Structure 1
């Protein structure tokens, strides 16, 4: 069945009226993951945009049509570890156990429990929607925020020019745990995204699966809500967010574009406004170096 057939035949398991921002990448990610996982699923979503906007809903009603737990910011993978073992004991390994967490709850606060669950090979699919910051509380920088980004804690001015550090590349860190399946995905490449979620769910029946998804944020990044998919596509085309997967120890690049320069990617994104040529060049060097590593691993 093609990915279009999957989406056509699968019901939308999120209520029509949720309070996510217009053009929110994370809302699209939540809806599509739920369509693929289906109603026989239990989700764990820590505090963040999708806990507040995607799960709570209106009038204290659940915005999501499957069981969902709002975990703590730092224990999502630990919570699902326990749930996984409970359902194994009950003789119900068919239930899909899925985490959907932001980059703060994944790369920062929750990394200890994430890494530990991956090392133990706990049976779950963990997805990170990476909007490069703590958006639900006013956009503070996280460790996955791109160098030079203007956030509420890394202002751009005469003294500092946005975030001073390069971003932590979490997907490759997770792949090096030797897990069942690891991939990157983007809402701009929906066929690739759906296929990877299907593979991740299948792998989660054997052990730990992880997918890192690019999630552009119009509100925090300061761009028009109509540009979300275009910006996500440019992130892939520029190799700022390369698409790949690793299974059985083999890394495969699932997109190999003729790369756009980073200077073209940042155009029209408010958080990058006024970047100096030096900072742009620093970002470009890191992007090229990281992609070269991925190409060597793929070879």
Structure 2
């Protein structure tokens, strides 16, 4: 059975009503992960887009068909650590312990508990849907926001021209914690995403598994909602978001771009990048190229 067949046959654990924005990558991540994880799953979703849309649902009714809890913004991994350990003590190792968290709750506010849980190799699958900002509160910059992005805290003006710093590359940082499994994925490459969710769930029975998913946001990024998958696909094509995995210390690039498109082509039509200067584009391109070369060396390419 193909990975797409697996997805088609799986039962949706998210209710039909959904209050996420049109074209939301986070919703697609949530539905896909929980479809594969199935009903024998407990999920933690910290404050953010998916806590509001995926948990509250419509009219304050639960948006999920499985047990879900909204921990604090900074303690998702800690909360799930306790949950994982109590179920293991009860002899219920079959229960999937899963986090679905945004980049703010993962790379910034929650990084301390995330790193600590990863270092201790706690048994869970932690999924970050990365839309490069605190979207649920009006799009403030996070540490994973791409340089030059226009956000409410890095506006376009005479003092600064969008975010001034390069983004934190969190998945590689997590992989250096000696995880059982670590991977990147994108909503534009669904078969690859399903494969990695399955691997992550299997690895979570042995230790900490981490999946970092590219989840562009039409509302915050300012592009048409029907272009969401195209934007995500172009990010992979440009090596802005390369797809790779690490299993037991061995790195593998899943999608190798022999002729990648340029960063300049990737940013076209995306509102948050509309004021990028030529120097800004060149700076992002340099960071993208250096990061991809590092990944190739790690993968032995």
The answer to whether the superposition gives a TM-score over 0.5 is yes
Q: Secondary structure at the match of 1:114?
A: helix
Looking at structure 2, the residues matched to 298 and 8 of structure 1 have their Cα atoms a distance apart, in angstroms, of: 32
Show the counterpart of 1:259. 260
Normalising to structure 1: TM-score of the pair?
0.99
Show the counterpart of 2:24. 24
Show the counterpart of 2:281. 280
Query: 1:2 offset after TM fit, Å?
Result: 1.2
1:79-228 to structure 2, matched below 5 A, reads: 79-228=79-228
Looking at structure 2, the residues matched to 4 and 197 of structure 1 have their Cα atoms a distance apart, in angstroms, of: 13
Show the counterpart of 1:39. 39
Looking at structure 2, the residues matched to 70 and 183 of structure 1 have their Cα atoms a distance apart, in angstroms, of: 24
Looking at structure 2, the residues matched to 231 and 2 of structure 1 have their Cα atoms a distance apart, in angstroms, of: 25
Report the number of matched residues: 299
Describe the superposition over 1:147-177 as per-residue Cα deviations: whole angstroms up to 9, x where unpaired.
Answer: 0000000001232110000000000000000
Show the counterpart of 1:62. 62
Query: 1:144 offset after TM fit, Å?
Result: 0.2
Show the counterpart of 1:51. 51
Query: 1:228 offset after TM fit, Å?
Result: 0.2
Query: 1:17 offset after TM fit, Å?
Result: 1.2
**Is the 8 Å Cα contact of residues 147 and 167 (structure 2) preserved in structure 1?**
yes
**Is the 8 Å Cα contact of residues 103 and 142 (structure 2) preserved in structure 1?**
yes
Q: Secondary structure at the match of 1:117?
A: helix
Describe the superposition over 1:67-94 as per-residue Cα deviations: whole angstroms up to 9, x where unpaired.
Answer: 0000100000000000000000100000
Normalising to structure 2: TM-score of the pair?
0.98
| Greater mean alpha carbon deviation, residues 99-108 or residues 5-14 | 5-14
Looking at structure 1, the residues matched to 193 and 99 of structure 2 have their Cα atoms a distance apart, in angstroms, of: 16
Show the counterpart of 1:268. 269
CA RMSD of aligned residues (A): 0.6
| Greater mean alpha carbon deviation, residues 128-137 or residues 11-20 | 11-20
Query: 1:248 offset after TM fit, Å?
Result: 1.2
Query: 1:256 offset after TM fit, Å?
Result: 0.6
Looking at structure 1, the residues matched to 19 and 58 of structure 2 have their Cα atoms a distance apart, in angstroms, of: 8
Q: Secondary structure at the match of 2:125?
A: strand
Looking at structure 1, the residues matched to 2 and 90 of structure 2 have their Cα atoms a distance apart, in angstroms, of: 33
**Is the 8 Å Cα contact of residues 4 and 190 (structure 2) preserved in structure 1?**
no
